[in-house]
Amino acid sequence: MTATVAADGSAVTWRAAWAAALDELELDLERAEALISRDHSVRDANGEDLLRGVTWTPPDHLPPLPAELVDRARAVLDRQTAAAAGLALAMSVNRRQALLAARMSAEEAARPNYVDRAV
């Protein structure tokens, strides 16, 4: 197996480099899935910020994907697609709720504070 050089200068096999990249993607997916399943909570049970470190940049000079990791990469892609759909749905629901709340607050402001009636 051909080796490549990691950011710290150590030699890493192509398979190990791809496995590490897929590990990072799966961790980001787990955070996104947790956000969706926990109704937009940004902290896990231990109080850890689920959004910390969510940005992912592909490693430089990543070699071609090894054949034995193709199924795992496809599974990650399928999960990413599902997470993106879940996030889009959550944003849509949030937008509708915000519009409803805005309408309700506008209607509330138009109501009189008291009614003047003859006794």
| Residue-range definition of the domain harbouring residue 74 | 3-109
Contact (CB, 8 A) for 69 and 25: no
| Position 12, amino acid | V
- Please indicate, yes or no, if residue 118 is contained in any of the structural domains: no
- Please indicate, yes or no, if residue 101 is contained in any of the structural domains: yes
Q: Average pLDDT, whole number, for the chain? A: 75
- Please indicate, yes or no, if residue 10 is contained in any of the structural domains: yes
pTM strictly above 0.75: no
36 sits in the region (left: phi over 0; alpha: psi -120 to 50; else beta) called: alpha
pLDDT of residue 44: 52
- Please indicate, yes or no, if residue 59 is contained in any of the structural domains: yes
- Please indicate, yes or no, if residue 26 is contained in any of the structural domains: yes
How many helices and strands, by DSSP H and E, does the chain display?
A: 2, 2
Q: Look at the chain and report how many structural domains it folds into.
A: 1
Exposure letters 5-41 (e unless 16+ CB within 10 A, then b): eeeeeeebebbebbbebbeebeebbebbbebbeeeee
Summarize pLDDT for 44-88 with one digit per residue, the tens: 555 566 556 666 676 777 788 888 989 998 998 898 888 888 888
- Please indicate, yes or no, if residue 119 is contained in any of the structural domains: no
Contact (CB, 8 A) for 90 and 75: no
- Please indicate, yes or no, if residue 115 is contained in any of the structural domains: no
pLDDT of residue 75: 92
- Please indicate, yes or no, if residue 73 is contained in any of the structural domains: yes
Strand partners, 43: 49
